[in-house]
Structure 1
Amino acid sequence: MQLSTQWLAQLPLTGIQHVNAVSGGDINAAFAIQTTTQRYFLKVQPHRGAAFFTHEVDGFNRLGAVVTTPKVLASGTINGDGYLLLNWLDMGVGSQYDLGQAVARVHQQHAPQFGLDHDFLVGKIPKYNHWQSNWATFYVEQRLDVLVKLAQRQGYWSPDREQAYHRLRQAILSDSYMQMVQPSLLHGDLWSGNVGFTADGTPLLIDPDVFYGDRAMDLAMTTIFGGFDSDFYRGYADRYPLAPGMRERLPRYQLYYLLAHLNLFGESYGPAVDRLLKTA
């Protein structure tokens, strides 16, 4: 995506000198903007309007109250394109122990119920967040069922998967552990690409997809693709010890993320989904 001079002139910035495309994931176009005084990070969602970034802004506001995140400077619509302007943060290295402590601080932010005050339906994976008092109901109906139905529509489902999922679904709904879960603020997409450290070593969280749920969901995501070592989990547990039974249920939450990848990237994730359907 190219940003015209006319497009850039509508940003709440002055003295723009350079604009360079940078890595910003597979969803948004991303740019580094250098003005006469400082540098900025810009995300653009072509033809989607400001609403696309409303959920992310809310996430930054919630996470930023307790940990370091990029600061939201502006968001809106320019020529039909949604944009999100953030301060630029130079990256460095830091302690996985400190990162674990930072994630634990996020999870220590609680709500009366599970969910969020808005849905996020404009992404590739819809998130139905209406409030629930029962965590098992929320997780099954507003997370797993949604992805199963999407997989059915895309031809990634089978009678064997349906049978295994029905068994697991009933087990989740009847699991007494699910009745004891306290709603925690979740990052929502806690893989290694969404964490890092500022130049001075401060832990940093980016690209949030927040809602209030079982903190084990975030921890499950950290176990799928790597990037988190034993110091991370030690730091986390020292600040917010794991609840009894939480570790054993991580595979049930790994299933959600692997179902999402099945829907996004296809049958290459099928064997991992089948394994979790049978063993979680």
Structure 2
Amino acid sequence: MHLTKAWLAQLPLTDIQQVQPVSGGDINAAFQIITLHHHQYFLKVQPHNDVTFFDHEVAGLRLLGAVTKTPRVIASGTIATDGYLLLDWLATGTGSQSALGAAVAKVHHQHHAQFGLDHDFTAGKLPKINHWQTDWATFYTQQRLDVLVNLAKENHLWSETREIHYHRLRQQLLQDSHMHTVKPSLLHGDLWSGNYLFDTTGTPVLIDPDVFYGDREMDLAMTTIFGGFDADFYQAYQAAYPVAPGMQDRLPSYQLYYLLAHLNLFGETYGPAVDRILSMSCTGREACI
């Protein structure tokens, strides 16, 4: 995406000297902006979407930023037909996984009376239905798993076998005693290694949130899928906010959500991983088809 001088002139910045594209994921166009006085900014642009596309991210950065470091929001708005989000540029350094684990635990210590959030996010490829629920099992099955299973059906990525196994797993989740004792925690919502960094002082910074209040084990499950979190992270987290016994057995049910997301985004490459977790629902004399 090319930003014209007329487009850039509508940003709440003066004396822009340099604009260069940077890596920003596959959802937004991303740029580094440098001004005459050497101030640096990170600009995300969502072509042909207005500013409401970024409202969920802004809300997430503010919720997380109340208890841990996040990029500072400078402004958001719509220019021409494009939504934008302007953040402080963060120079990166190195830091400890222990500090990161403690920071995530601090986020999870933020609680709410119910599960969900005060708004949905449906502008992206994967809709997030966040209306409040008092029961976590209901929220997770209806407003997370069911949504992605229905999307997989629309994308022709589902099968009768997957449906049978999913129905069995879904019933197990609804009856699981742990699911009915969960305390709603503030979650990052997409806690993989690409969504944290360390600033030049070694302070961990959380970026690109997809927040809601849910079971904190869901965030921890995401950390186990693609790597980037080591033993020091989990030890520091456990020291700051111990998890209930049996978490390792519960993690696959939460990994499933993120694998379903990737199945919908990237196709059948993630099918075997989805099938592996779904097949775990077959117990005792039940035979997996």
TM-score, with normalisation over the residues of structure 2? 0.96
Matches within 5 A, 1:13-28: 13-28=13-28
Matches within 5 A, 1:138-177: 138-177=139-178
Distance 2:46 2:242 in 1: 39
CA offset at residue 243 of structure 1?
Answer: 1.6
CA offset at residue 146 of structure 1?
Answer: 0.5
Matches within 5 A, 1:168-207: 168-207=169-208
2:246 alignment counterpart = 245
Aligned length: 280
Distance 2:194 2:28 in 1: 15
Q: Deviations over 1:169-218 (max 9, x none)?
A: 00000001111100000000000000110011000100000000000000
Distance 1:94 1:83 in 2: 30
Q: Any idea what SS the aligned residue of 1:75 has?
A: strand
Q: Deviations over 1:199-247 (max 9, x none)?
A: 1100010000000000000000000000100000011111001122333
Distance 2:155 2:76 in 1: 33
Q: Any idea what SS the aligned residue of 2:221 has?
A: helix
Q: 2:133 aligned with 1:136, yes or no?
A: no
1:94 alignment counterpart = 95
Distance 1:72 1:244 in 2: 38
Distance 1:196 1:84 in 2: 19
Q: Any idea what SS the aligned residue of 1:243 has?
A: coil
1:31 alignment counterpart = 31
Q: Deviations over 1:91-117 (max 9, x none)?
A: 011000000000000000000000000
1:70 alignment counterpart = 71
Distance 1:246 1:112 in 2: 23
Distance 1:119 1:96 in 2: 32
CA offset at residue 80 of structure 1?
Answer: 1.5
Distance 1:59 1:158 in 2: 35
Q: Any idea what SS the aligned residue of 2:235 has?
A: helix
Distance 2:174 2:223 in 1: 24
Matches within 5 A, 1:111-130: 111-130=112-131
Distance 2:154 2:46 in 1: 26
Q: Is the 8 A contact 1:177 1:245 kept in 2?
A: no
2:6 alignment counterpart = 6
Q: Any idea what SS the aligned residue of 1:216 has?
A: helix
1:264 alignment counterpart = 265
TM-score, with normalisation over the residues of structure 1? 0.99
| Alignment gaps of 5+ in structure 1 | none
Structure 2 residue identity aligned to 1:69: T
1:209 alignment counterpart = 210
Distance 1:88 1:114 in 2: 33
Q: 2:28 aligned with 1:58, yes or no?
A: no
Q: Any idea what SS the aligned residue of 1:34 has?
A: strand
Range 45-54 or range 245-254, more displaced: 245-254
Distance 2:163 2:78 in 1: 42
CA offset at residue 145 of structure 1?
Answer: 0.4
| Alignment gaps of 5+ in structure 2 | 282-289
1:278 alignment counterpart = 279
CA offset at residue 278 of structure 1?
Answer: 1.1
Displacement over 2 Å in runs of 4+: 244-247
Distance 1:144 1:88 in 2: 35
Structure 2 residue identity aligned to 1:118: H
Distance 1:248 1:56 in 2: 31
